[in-house]
Amino acid sequence: MLKEIQVYFSLEFLNSIFVKTCNLKDFYRFIIANFKKLSFGWVLTFLSSFGQTFLISLYVPEIIKSFSISEGTFGAIYAGCTVTASVIMLSLGHNVDHKPAKTVTAFSITGLAIASILLGFSYHFAVLILAIIMLRLFGQGLLTHISMTLISKIFDKNRGKALSFSSLGFSIGEAILPILITTIISFYNWRIAAICSGVLLLFYLIKLKFTNLDHFDEQLISIKGNSTKKMVRNYKEIIFNRKFGIIMPAVFAVSFINTAVFFYQYIFVEEKQWSVTLYASFFTAYAITRLVFSLFGGVWVDKYTAKKLFRFYLIPLNIGLLPFAFMDSILGALAFLILAGITTGISGTVKTAIIAEIYGTKNLGAIRSIFTMFMVISTALGPLLVGLLIDNNFSVSTILLCLSILLILVVFNSQRIGKIEK
């Protein structure tokens, strides 16, 4: 009964906000008019799920058993592989600026398919490490990067709505794929599940062969001589620029905190002696909130600009950490999940739109690859650092308070965005 009441009021509340702030008919017309382009972005974010932590984590218990390693050892391996993938990402991300969309997409899909199949056949430790690096590189890294970059380039006036629709692939992947993968694992084993994932990706290549993506290639820029080396030299200039110092901490913080908290959420819940089953049911509210606010984010970016939203979108997550840390009632966890869903939903659009607004779209692939690299690194460092705090007997309240203080500093830093011109 509690779950039904929770879902009902969540839906009613979010629906009332959406009706007041968004023109549903305009959004619907925009989607219908541009469905071919938007669906391509949506599919890529959906398929990126095969390299995301939430899906890879389903294999972890069996991988640990198969290789006779501890959870801590695998955590360190996973962090190392993720960081390695992020560094490689920096050398590949710029290709979306000057190579046809079909070429870079086929390359990434093929790499992710091979990675999934390698994971299924990873009887040697070296193969396991290679598979994880490739999963993180081609899945979380390149497919997400290609989708967000191409959509940002082709849409200007309605960039926010376009990005928000494309980012729904993340939510759908989180809803569908864990059920599919766990079902295959329960009937067969984790290796078969990984191989099936790779085969599914290869089937998409057949569809891609007959998909016309020429409309994404209109803004390609030519590459001459050693322009790649020049771009690498320019990375230092970009990183030490004031713009980067304002935008990067916010991009880093969302992934860092979300990954860290969700990675250890059940440890936190058990320490507070809350019902794990009831907490798990609260994820319905999180999923609904994230899904709806990913649409809000798109509409608001088009209406108010990403620069204005950038100053405030981290605040709900920051507020949500406090009841999770200090409330004795499990309703504190529900408050966190709803508020985290707001920030996470909006961030999917804002993080890419702000880069396009500030830096322009000409070299968006190269510039965004730098941000993607640091974002991927944050997903490795979050669980690693929080895990060290747990190992050193820091309480849940202390850990979450530290994360909240960190986020407050980032929010203050984000206020400087108003002084930055494109």
Mean pLDDT by 10 residues, the chain (422 residues): 47 51 70 86 92 83 85 80 87 82 92 95 93 92 89 82 85 84 88 94 90 76 54 70 87 87 79 82 81 85 86 92 90 91 88 84 78 83 82 86 93 85 62
At a CB cut-off of 8 Å and minimum separation 6, what does 265 contact? 279
pLDDT score for 198: 94
Q: How many other CB atoms are found less than 10 A from the CB of residue 186? A: 9
CA 152 to chain centre: 16
For residue 134, the surrounding DSSP H or E stretch is helix 125-134
User: For domain 2-419, which CATH number applies: 3.40.50.80, 1.10.20.10, 2.60.130.10, 1.20.1250.20?
Assistant: 1.20.1250.20
pLDDT score for 226: 45
CA distance 311 to 191: 44
The model's pTM is 0.80
289 is written with which tokens? 């909130």
Which among 371, 353, 422 has a CA at the least distance from the CA of 165?
353
Show the DSSP H helices in 275-392 as ranges: 276-281, 283-304, 306-310, 315-326, 331-359, 364-391
Q: Where are the domains of the chain?
A: 2-419
At a CB cut-off of 8 Å and minimum separation 6, what does 276 contact? 266, 269, 270
pLDDT score for 251: 86
Q: Is there a contact between 205 and 383 (Cβ–Cβ < 8 Å)?
A: no
pLDDT score for 320: 93
pLDDT score for 96: 83
pLDDT score for 381: 85
pLDDT score for 386: 82
* 82-141 confidence digits (pLDDT tens): 889 988 888 888 788 878 889 999 999 999 999 999 999 999 999 999 999 999 999 988
